Amino acid sequence: MRRARSPARHRSGADRERVRERWKPALAHGCSPYSATRSFTPCPPSCTTRRCGAGNVTVPHKEAAERCVARKTDLCARVGACNTFWAEHGELVGDNTDVVGVLTCLKQLGVDGASRWLLVGTGGTARAVAVAAAELRAEVHVLSRDAARAQRFADWARAQGARAHPARGALEPEVAINATPLGLKESDPLPLDPARAQRLAAALDLVYSPRGTRWVRALRAAGIPAHDGREMLVHQGVAAFARFFPDQPAPVEVMRAAVNHALRA
């Protein structure tokens, strides 16, 4: 929760569009992402708009949130995780905007047409990457320290429509995506050494830090375009903003500036 940047991102957007809503971080306890908030009861099957409003869910509660919402979008159901919710006709509706965040970042990097991805990690955020790969019909190779976990994840990803396999042998991806916590500390090893990936056209690190992660800095120094997780944070927020305020255009640059400011704070 201390690392969460969603409140600052959405407050800036709401202020810019003069929307009278406020985001406040709330700690969750137990299995329910709502049990510590003033507006929710634990795992409610439905609610009224007066009680619910809208909000975002961060790790490690996204999977629990997906089980709690009364209705969910197709992406939310496929990923099995909810990071955005709102009240509609008296019910909680859940969505997953991580997928849109990944897709938008890859388009910005000019590699949304790349056919061979390397995905480092098998956690909840990696699920969104796998579904994004399915949307773009890309082949995704899954790298994990645990070979059995990589196989299980690849099996799950194939069930979601992705062409997924455990990563084996020489790694020659066109796109590399880090969906692990590697990079939160400067001493962390690199998810993939740029010198070992001769065909790498771009990379996306879902971790973010004030100076940019060491991996992103190494990639850029090698001439490889790369984004860290702050850009995904911006675009998943833009997608969430559209859910919350469908008649209001999201002020993308204002939200990006708010995320960067929060990281420096």
Would you name the residues annotated as active-site residues?
A: 62
Distance CA 88, CA 46 (A): 10
Q: Treating both helix axes as pointing N-terminal to C-terminal, what angle do 98-108 and 229-244 enclose, rounded to 10 degrees?
A: 130
What are the CA-CA distances from residue 68 to residues 1, 73, 222, 257 (Å)?
Answer: 20, 13, 44, 32
| Cβ neighbours of 30 (radius 10 Å) | 11
Q: Which of 159, 90, 151, 96 has its CA nearest to residue 122?
A: 151
What are the CA-CA distances from residue 207 to residues 51, 164, 173, 179, 200 (Å)?
Answer: 33, 22, 20, 7, 19
| Cβ neighbours of 100 (radius 10 Å) | 22
Distance CA 157, CA 131 (A): 7
